[in-house]
Structure 1
């Protein structure tokens, strides 16, 4: 994830949830937080990126719909929507991939109803070029199209009083991208430049004011997004985690490289061979002292945690999701304060895989699901498993620092390739981060209309939760 989100033709969506009474950022419940520092180039933390913020913490400063009665509706878009972001005007913007044609398409949604107000199709490129995007500090969506143009897409009132989406700025990156390569990860730097990474392992920065692009090459594949905090950018390749800074002219500079156990092959329930996680910065203090990913070790993967200031030796490597015989994840983690939460996607049935994905090892597996929480030791130089949970999360969960709950969609019933589209049942679920227990569960629906495909959700300041599914976006509010 990371959530890195999923698949070849569908791509995950977002959620949003909150209460109108919370205009200011609430304080975090004991044991979690703080939020990462606010990136000056993005919309507000919690609603700026697929993973909430440029640090990819997968936390939100807003309370979710809670454990009481809920109301929900579905916006049918014939697309999977991996990214839903919300700016200062409270307008949800979704980046989706159409089921037929696999075309990345931007949608502007009505915050009152979830209705589709305007859409803009983009040139088609790689799957993950149509997945990762962020909302900048002017409420414009920053995304790369299939022609390697770095775009800022704004939403504007039309002459007739409706809405329109338009490309407000375009910066070509084509000259910096090798032929046949494509941009995967995208994140806002703290100095106005934009960081990107390609599937072929090129890492670069782009200055959209001057058009200057600077790159280096790792020679290793990248299949997830990237994360930024002041002074540091984290990129996970299929072999190692890289921590980078930049020279005065913007050229990326490797601060350290940490290899990890990539395992014997791509696991069932994953989209590529290697980590399934976008790197996440977290920690007590200012929320940037540590960085974490999962590896791909067998039979159980490990959570790896490094001190940003003293990598590349990890402070801990802890087996997770050990309640099942085997484990793996295609999701980013939730990382906040002293705690990291990992979701098991081992065996999760995706309708399709990215082009060139190797055969899985083993060739198939059932989906058991589950979550683990790992805590840093008191001295900050190690970590330990706090709990395992059997909740079968079908989405990448999100932790609310306002109400101290984890929000997700869970799945019950058959989840084979046929079952995922017909008989599996999906529910809105609220978990206790202290124990992993399910606090409440509300049935939503059956089959592909409601399958969230391990996509994440975002919590908006108006109390609404937007969750992407295989075919559209769910809008969940307090009942």
Structure 2
């Protein structure tokens, strides 16, 4: 339900009566596909190079088949697919907390191959992606970048390390995220605030961001203009130097990181992967959320030079905190609150104490429209949906998909939300109890409209 009691929501309701119902998101330009990545919508956790959390594919719709659990002995936050259609799930194993790549048959969703990776300094795995040759690009515990290829022979399916490039880092540091640049380099960022790239020839170039006092806890994104990285202090746009032997900072924008981590967040700083969006090119702007208290701000920058376009306090004082990447398309941005979300203790063991120490999961989502020409951000709607997964905007269906968490985490449902007004269109039962917890992980929609959502017990599939 849309809030009716808060003054801002009351004003919004009055304006709606005068101006009529809110329209859906303005049609956005599509950023050119990254030639070194798989098909948009399925090749990385956030859907595309710009981390828009959108997909061109329709989802399972209002009346899908019953949800199909796919049990695995692991938590599966990263579920991807390349041009060959095989499903690749990078999951964190229960036994040793190390990542494994599971290759799943797209029809039966049964595992047909598994490749176990060595554990590293980071809990579980890292942000990974599928490249233009359907290989999963990730990192193992030794610090090497790996290209994992799969193939089928008379013995069945197998996964092999096709390429390996060591990345030397000081003790205590580890690569946290990898992604393809439009410049043919594979870019990465580390937990201790370093960033760099691996050239096609295998050379490794690294720089330290913020003088070595910053950390990276989220993914990176890319556009033809460069690679965006948000640390726990600032957002950067990076490019390779003219000779390809240095990392060049095009711009840096610091933000208010607050006094401490908020409950329901995994680091002391922004919970955002920087997201490219815009009406002209699909990458005109970059958006993040900060960690200001009591209310976080939506921060929008001009991609070419980092100039701030606008900022706006988001959600309410009771719910203004998010660990999730913004969903952005055209001129619209969608934010889901994670304030108070009860993550497992080990997920936040290196993130410092939260202030306050604990809070109830508040829930709530908000849509903000950005007008670059006037330099303004305006709230369009705010609801109370208890979103337990990173929302995904189906551009083909014009629907936001997320998961609702109700009854103190006992019931989980796939929800379809109207992006025009924030109302729930339908909900589909996913599961009961703690093993069905979706832990704010993002769902992936395949070209056949199947939605795959990671859970504490593997994943669950919802088919049309």
**Fold conserved (TM > 0.5)?**
yes
Question: How much does 1:36 deviate?
Answer: 2.6
- Over 3 Å counting, the alpha-carbon distance change for 1:61 and 1:326 in structure 2 is closer
Instruction: Kindly indicate whether the alpha-carbon contact (under 8 Å) linking 2:443 and 2:454 is maintained by their aligned counterparts in 1.
Output: yes
Question: How much does 1:380 deviate?
Answer: 5.1
Aligned to 2:219: 225
- Over 3 Å counting, the alpha-carbon distance change for 1:221 and 1:441 in structure 2 is same
Aligned to 2:428: 442
- Over 3 Å counting, the alpha-carbon distance change for 1:232 and 1:378 in structure 2 is closer
Instruction: Kindly indicate whether the alpha-carbon contact (under 8 Å) linking 1:411 and 1:427 is maintained by their aligned counterparts in 2.
Output: yes
Distance 1:36 1:107 in 2: 30
Instruction: Kindly indicate whether the alpha-carbon contact (under 8 Å) linking 1:129 and 1:183 is maintained by their aligned counterparts in 2.
Output: no
Aligned to 1:465: 451
Distance 2:246 2:32 in 1: 24
Aligned to 1:304: 299
Aligned to 1:123: 118
Equivalent residue pairs, number: 436
Alignment TM-score, normalising by the size of structure 1: 0.89
Question: How much does 1:229 deviate?
Answer: 0.7
SS at match of 1:443: strand
Instruction: Kindly indicate whether the alpha-carbon contact (under 8 Å) linking 1:413 and 1:425 is maintained by their aligned counterparts in 2.
Output: yes
Question: How much does 1:72 deviate?
Answer: 1.9
| Bigger relative contact order, structure 1 or 2 (CA pairs below 8 A, ≥6 apart) | 1
Instruction: Kindly indicate whether the alpha-carbon contact (under 8 Å) linking 1:283 and 1:289 is maintained by their aligned counterparts in 2.
Output: yes
In structure 1, the gaps of 5 or more residues are 1-28, 415-419
Which of the residues 365, 370, 373 maps onto 1:379? 373
Aligned to 1:192: 184
2:269 matches 1:274: yes
2:64 matches 1:72: no
Instruction: Kindly indicate whether the alpha-carbon contact (under 8 Å) linking 1:226 and 1:278 is maintained by their aligned counterparts in 2.
Output: yes
SS at match of 1:393: coil
2:284 matches 1:289: yes
Instruction: Kindly indicate whether the alpha-carbon contact (under 8 Å) linking 1:405 and 1:433 is maintained by their aligned counterparts in 2.
Output: yes
SS at match of 2:380: strand
Aligned to 1:211: 202
Which of the residues 80, 98, 102 maps onto 1:103? 98
SS at match of 1:449: helix
Summarize the alignment of residues 30-109 of structure 1 with structure 2, pairs less than 5 Å apart.
Answer: 31-109=26-104
2:417 matches 1:431: yes
Question: How much does 1:158 deviate?
Answer: 2.9
SS at match of 1:64: coil
Instruction: Kindly indicate whether the alpha-carbon contact (under 8 Å) linking 2:225 and 2:304 is maintained by their aligned counterparts in 1.
Output: no
Question: How much does 1:378 deviate?
Answer: 6.5
Aligned to 2:19: none
Distance 1:197 1:342 in 2: 24
Distance 1:326 1:291 in 2: 23
Which of the residues 406, 410, 416 maps onto 2:404? 410
Distance 2:123 2:184 in 1: 23
Question: How much does 1:310 deviate?
Answer: 3.1
Which of the residues 298, 323, 329 maps onto 1:330? 323
Alignment TM-score, normalising by the size of structure 2: 0.91
Aligned to 2:234: 240
Instruction: Kindly indicate whether the alpha-carbon contact (under 8 Å) linking 2:64 and 2:462 is maintained by their aligned counterparts in 1.
Output: no
In structure 2, the gaps of 5 or more residues are 1-23
Aligned to 1:20: none
Question: How much does 1:128 deviate?
Answer: 6.2
2:339 matches 1:346: yes
